[in-house]
Chains A and B, each alone.
Chain A
Amino acid sequence: MESNVLKPILAVYVALFVLFLYGPFIVLGILSFQQGPEGGPQFPIIEWSTYWYRHLFGMVPPSRIAPLPVGEALIRSLILAFMTMVTATVLGVMAAQAFRRRFRGAGVVFYLIVLGMMVPGVLTGLGTSLLANNVLDIERHWYTTAFVAHVVYTFPFAFLVMLAILNRFDSSVEEASWSLGVSPIRTFRKVTFPLIFPGVLSAMLFAFTLSFDEFPRTLFASGRDQTLPLAIYGTFSVEIHPNIFAFGVMTTLFSFALLAVYGILMGLSVRRAKKMAMQEEIA
């Protein structure tokens, strides 16, 4: 009786969830195949074409619509996301490692770290720029001020992921290693790190994706050269053409590719464990 009522409600709920999650992307995806260069960013589709994809790569004759100025911005954003990922993950692992021992003021430090993801982004970005310009006399660039702002933002995510992983970590394997005469540094490298590696991957993924599409913190902090989200926003303020949609589809596919890499790396470590278990069954 109960499930007769509940089931349809849950089904509708899931359908709505999927619709809101993928709907926008699907609409963008469809509109990216609009006819060009006359077709605009709205329905109906005049004629299906890959014009805007070719436009993206400069493979169409020049028209009144300028090519999307994102090439350099894309490279910048990728480099920035990579730098942020490495820094935030290293800091996150180290900080989470430190929190395994209860130290004086641990509570305060915890909230200070987590504050990085709570504070409104625009303010952080603005504050970082002001601090750099007026106090520290550092020029604003995507690789200076924006980088710092991104690390401050993504570090808490990496930290929290690692904290959750280390919380479930059985430290007696580390003690066992020490008691075999292995120094703490080597123990970390040979025992702890391989065991927390899946968590490290997750932290890296978080940091990379958060930095890659970060807008508010970058707005004031990136200086002269824009990152990808800023460059895209810049083109909105003039006029929107379906080439943006085509670009959106491309970047989304890129993100999926990234997830696939993550999945493969995870799968490899799981399969390794499985393989060893199988050897046992044969024997």
Chain B
Amino acid sequence: MDYDLQLRNVYKTYDNGTPAVIDFNIDVEKGEFIAFLGPSGCGKSTTLRMISGFETVTKGDLLIRGNRVNDQLPEKRPTSMIFQNYALFPHMNVRQNVRFGLEVKGTPKVEADAKVDGILEKLDLLGIADLATTRLSGGQRQRIALARSLVVEPDILLLDEPLGALDANLRKSIQNELKLLQHDLGITFVFVTHAQSEALALSDRIVVMNAGRVEQISPPRELYTRPSSNFVARFIGSNTIIPGTVQRDKDDVVTLDTAFGLLSGSNRAGHSASAGDKMSIVLPAEAVDLVPSDVDAAKIRADFGSNTIHCTIARLQIVGHIMQMVVQLENGEMLDVEGHVDKYRDRLKAGGTAFLAWRSAAATVIDS
């Protein structure tokens, strides 16, 4: 298998001894859209800057298309970077900005003209090609930055929080443009963000980072359904996490003894689970059903086994075909639950009691 980008046991330690990135491993296929997601200071930007060559790799190997590039200067690497503040050259107009990389490379004039016009056209910038960049809108500046980077035909495009400075509406439309552009060009994108909605909407795989370490590398859907650590379960989506002790592990369904009785979930991440281990069960908000407490107990048991928690409905709102509820557990904890409007909608009322219920396959167990 040929990979565009590989990080093997990559570490970054700053001069003062602070570790910024710890043992980062990933193989990125050509044309993949990868997002580095995590809170600020988690090491995602540092990793991106190591790939671009702006930061040195302290330990480990960084490979681009199979070549070790640890010691290659940034200008020699087939990568190009998009910055959060766009970093356009203020003393050049739009066309000069885009042309700059080709000019310095010594691309023949006719060829350079054609390439520049082509990319300006593609990004809908031809109309403003001769204007100064300084007073253009954020969206336009963003597209100029993209054009400037793409015109030199990098193997890998690196994007450092590129949507961070845009307002919400624009962010959505640029998100779509980015996705289309990447699909169209077929080049590898590595995207750094702290906004999970961006990562979930755009990427093929998400690398969740925390405190310098990689917590999980998965496609977006799997981060929801199979969080492999406590951090990911808390960071992604809106999950309820209930700690307990392993009672049994049967066919990858782990049953925990918790404050709410015996609860089970599937052991998707393949954690070792022996009786007596401390583990937690993760309930995604949209995987939980709410059953009125006057429903026959035998029926509930038949549908959900012992996976029920008694609760009080604090608030209930129906938006279209989605029910949004806030429920209070017996221990006082409040949690958000979301589900499709179903047959019970008339029997669920704010102030009433109900059971939170789920099938074992909908919940996940993780190490606590």
Interface residues of A (CB under 8 A from B): 170, 172-173, 175-184, 186, 190-191, 194-195, 273, 276-277, 279-280, 283
Shortest C-beta distance, B200 to chain A (Å), equals: 27
A279 and B130 contact, CB distance less than 8 A: yes
Determine the residue in chain B with the shortest Cβ distance to A179: B81
CB-CB under 8 A from B100, the residues of chain A are 177, 180, 182, 190
Tell me if B101 and A283 are in contact (CB < 8 A): no
**Cα(A50)–Cα(B135), bound, Å:** 54
Q: Which of B83-91, B265-273, B307-315 contacts A (4 or more CB under 8 A)?
A: B83-91
| Option from B74, B131, B132 in Cβ contact (under 8 Å) with A178 | B74
CA of A277 to CA of B134, assembled, Å: 8
Judge whether A279 and B87 touch: CB under 8 Å.
Answer: no
Bitwise, B98-121 to A at CB < 8 A (1) or not (0) is 001100110000000000000000
Q: Which A residue sits closest to B104, measured CB to CB? A: A182
When the two chains form their complex, are residues B91 and A180 in contact, meaning their CB atoms are under 8 A apart?
no
Interface residues of B in 246-286 (CB under 8 A from A): none
Residue pairs across A and B with CB atoms within 8 Å: the count is: 88
Which A residues are CB-close (under 8 A) to B152? 180-181
Please name the residue on chain B nearest to A174 by beta carbon.
B87
A-contacting residues of B (Cβ < 8 Å)? 52-54, 73-77, 79-81, 83, 85, 87-91, 93, 100-101, 104-105, 127-128, 130-132, 134-136, 145, 148-149, 152, 158
- Please give the distance in Å from B196's CB to the nearest CB on chain A: 25
Selected A-B contacts with CB under 8 Å, 28 pairs: A170-B85, A172-B87, A173-B87, A173-B88, A173-B89, A175-B87, A176-B81, A176-B87, A176-B88, A176-B89, A176-B145, A178-B54, A178-B75, A179-B53, A180-B80, A180-B149, A181-B75, A186-B104, A195-B91, A273-B91, A273-B132, A273-B134, A276-B131, A276-B132, A276-B134, A280-B135, A280-B136, A283-B127
Scoring A177, A194, A283 by chain B CB atoms within 10 A of each residue's CB, the highest score goes to A177
Closest Cβ neighbor of A282 among chain B residues = B131
C-alpha spacing A170/B79, complex, angstroms: 21
A278 to B, closest residue via Cβ: B132
Cross-chain contact of B104 among A176, A180, A276, A279 (Cβ < 8 A): A180
Chain B residues with CB under 8 Å of A170's CB are 85, 87
Structural contact, A183 and B85, CB atoms closer than 8 A? no
Between A181, A186, A190, A276, the greatest number of chain B beta carbons within 10 A of the residue's beta carbon is seen for A181
Least Cβ–Cβ distance between A75 and chain B, in angstroms = 37
- Chain A residues closer than 8 Å to B85, beta-carbon distance: 170, 172
For A279, the closest partner residue in chain B by CB is B131
Q: A178 — which chain B residues lie within 8 A by C-beta?
A: 53-54, 73-75
Query: Could you list 4 further interchain pairs (A-B, Cβ under 8 angstroms) beyond the known A176-B81, A273-B91, A279-B130?
Result: A176-B88, A178-B75, A180-B80, A280-B132
A177 to B134 alpha-carbon distance, docked (Å): 17
Closest-by-CB residue of B relative to A181 is: B75
**Within the assembled complex, what's the spacing in Å between the Cα atoms of A195 and B136?**
19
Residues of A contacting B52 with CB < 8 Å?
Answer: 175, 179
Cα distance, A277 to B83, chains bound together (Å): 23
Q: How far is the CB of A99 from chain B (nearest CB, A)?
A: 17
Contact B74 A190 (CB under 8 A): no
B80 contact set on A, CB distance < 8 A: 179-180
Give the residues in chain B near A175, CB-CB below 8 Å.
52, 54, 74, 81, 83, 87
- Inter-chain contact B101/A182, CB cutoff 8 Å: yes
Contacts of B128 in A (CB 8 A): 280, 283
Closest to A171 in B: B87
- Minimum CB–CB distance for A46 against chain B, Å: 58
Interfacial chain A residues near B87, Cβ < 8 Å: 170, 172-173, 175-176
List B contacts of A280 (CB < 8 A): 128, 131-132, 135-136
In contact, A181 and B132 (Cβ under 8 angstroms): no
B15: nearest residue on chain A (CB-CB)? A102
Q: Report the separation of the CA atoms of residues A180 and B75 in the bound assembly, to the nearest whole angstrom.
A: 6
Residues of B close to A184: CB separation below 8 A: 75
CB neighbours (8 Å) of A179 from chain B are 52-53, 74-75, 77, 79-81, 149, 158
- Distance in Å: Cβ of B267 to nearest Cβ of chain A: 43
A140, chain B: closest CB distance, angstroms: 45
> B132's contact among A176, A182, A279, by CB below 8 Å, is which?
A279
Closest A residue to B52 by beta carbon equals A179
Q: State whether A191 touches B89 (Cβ < 8 A).
A: yes
Q: Is the CB of B131 within 8 A of A172?
A: no
Residue of A nearest to B49 (CB): A175
Instruction: Answer whether A283 and B75 are a contact pair too, CB < 8 Å, given A175-B54, A177-B100.
Output: no
A191: chain B residues at CB < 8 Å are: 89
Residues of A contacting B53 in the complex (Cβ-Cβ under 8 angstroms): 178-179
